[in-house]
Structure 1
Amino acid sequence: MTSPTPLLAIRSLRAAYGKIEALKGVDVEINAGEIVALIGANGAGKSTLMMTIFGKPRARAGQILYEGRDITDVPTHEIAHLRIAQSPEGRRIFPRMSVAENLQMGADATGCTDSERDATLERVFNLFPRLKERYAQRGGTLSGGEQQMLAIGRALMSRPRLLLLDEPSLGLAPLIARQIFDAIRTLNRQDGLTVLIVEQNANHALKLAHRGYVMVNGLITLAGTGAELLQRPEIRAAYLEGGRHG
């Protein structure tokens, strides 16, 4: 019996900034319907992996397979049409635009119909009621937590099958971070959304995830279920007991 094709398969992926190699042969698989966490110290290459999936920077070697299709050289603007969405580190909302306009930008990325847009917008408002309250407000006037909700909401407006989340709880108060994690869990359980999450809070990320990978200096060094990784003494020492997060 053959195993199902992973939704996303990354094979021996290498990427660099100039002469500095950030990814040195990364292998990662994500199955449809999974939450997969990627943890590691700052500078390990986690965000680079996220960005390389989207084509910036371009891979120097290896493959990125999505639903079995090689998308390694697909232009960035076409990747969104494959129903892959990203909520990047630092949120990167459009501060001069209203919440409404930011969310519309997400819908425009994949050219959804009016009915699809309206249904998705209602879903975003159910997850993040604060965005409905702030609908006409400029993005730059929102709190940090509200901006993170907006960044995720904008990504969801493209109706992705695969959502890439880069440091969604960074800089947020614990209560707001918990709301963000609860929304991710709801999207996965109720909507079947597949999620790859890079997260500086390794404890929360691994509790949330079905599986996880540990990245060190551009390489995957450990893999396992979230529960397995939480119990490993080297993970606890490095990321859960006062070690460096990121």
Structure 2
Amino acid sequence: MSEAGALLSVRGVKTYYGKIIALKGVDVDVRQGEIVTMIGANGAGKSTLMMTIFGTPQAREGTITYEGRDITKMPSHQISRLGIAQSPEGRRIFPRMTVFENLQMGAAVAGMQHFDEDLEKICALFPRVKERLQQRGGTLSGGEQQMVAIARALMARPKLLMLDEPSLGLAPLIVKQIFEAIKELNRSQGLTVFLVEQNAFHALKLAHRGYVMVNGVITMSGSGKELLANPQVRAAYLEGGRH
């Protein structure tokens, strides 16, 4: 059964790549207004879960419900229209387009009537993006590209923002800025965020609740504070990891 009041509920999900099972029966809930994080080593299946929720690949077993609606077999473009936006691992902005054009692409999902108002909010949240609006995406630094990727997802006016490894390969100062922006969006707009992240210390500090994934299985869950204090989590993911 999905948890009462869950905006997103994943139950018994199994995902395969060919004959290799990547997710082995995953249960996750994300409630309205929460920041939920999933931590785990590289290759644990975190990104696969993100992609499965978004419909590529589709779950072979189990169910994914969003706002009480079964989206398990729905194609990605339909899922994006329901108010779920994803900032995928590796940023994947359009390198030949300007930052402004990248943001227009994000806004196209929600319709362009709120574009100016939303652009203003994005520029306040990420001043660096404002400075780079006329620059091509491919010429930006990694941190700037990550900010643009999150900004593009936000331009779709999502109810649920899914972020896959937003801190990957970035300098600690930029990581801090990005996590502060996520916290601010949640605090000021009540935006629900599901965050997959290898940087366990930052992610658990930020999150209301967290899950630990090992080899396609959820091995632990609890509040961000509980997981930060858990000796097993500390030994596996936090020793020497306080950036």
Report the counterpart of residue 161 of structure 2 in structure 1: 163
Partners in 2 of 1:220 and 1:153 — Cα distance? 30
TM-fit CA distance, 1:109? 2.3
Partners in 2 of 1:199 and 1:113 — Cα distance? 31
Report the counterpart of residue 58 of structure 1 in structure 2: 58
Matched, 1:230 2:234: no
Report the counterpart of residue 216 of structure 1 in structure 2: 214
Q: Deviations along 1:164-211, whole A, 9 cap, x unmatched? A: 000101111111110000000000000000001011110000000000
Amino acid at match of 1:39: I
Amino acid at match of 1:200: Q
Amino acid at match of 2:202: H
Q: Alignment RMSD, CA only?
A: 1.0
**Equivalent runs, 1:5-154 vs 2, <5 Å:** 5-110=5-110, 112-114=111-113, 116-154=114-152
Report the counterpart of residue 183 of structure 1 in structure 2: 181
**TM-score, normalising length: structure 1:** 0.95
Partners in 2 of 1:14 and 1:120 — Cα distance? 37
TM-fit CA distance, 1:122? 1.0
Partners in 1 of 2:60 and 2:4 — Cα distance? 28
TM-fit CA distance, 1:242? 4.1
- Find runs of 4+ consecutive structure 1 residues off by over 4 angstroms: none
Amino acid at match of 1:171: G
Amino acid at match of 2:233: I
Partners in 1 of 2:176 and 2:23 — Cα distance? 31
Q: Secondary structure at the match of 2:77?
A: helix
Q: Secondary structure at the match of 2:170?
A: coil
- Segments of 5+ residues of structure 1 without an aligned counterpart are none
TM-fit CA distance, 1:113? 3.7
TM-fit CA distance, 1:4? 4.1
TM-fit CA distance, 1:132? 1.1
Q: Secondary structure at the match of 2:219?
A: strand
**TM-score, normalising length: structure 2:** 0.96
Partners in 1 of 2:116 and 2:156 — Cα distance? 12
Partners in 1 of 2:7 and 2:212 — Cα distance? 20
Equivalent residue pairs, number = 239
- Segments of 5+ residues of structure 2 without an aligned counterpart are none
TM-fit CA distance, 1:128? 0.4
Amino acid at match of 2:120: E
Partners in 1 of 2:175 and 2:41 — Cα distance? 20
Partners in 1 of 2:117 and 2:51 — Cα distance? 29
Partners in 2 of 1:138 and 1:66 — Cα distance? 35
Q: Secondary structure at the match of 2:36?
A: strand
Q: Deviations along 1:37-61, whole A, 9 cap, x unmatched? A: 1001111100000000111001100
Amino acid at match of 1:241: E
Amino acid at match of 1:173: A
Q: Secondary structure at the match of 1:121?
A: helix
Partners in 2 of 1:36 and 1:212 — Cα distance? 5
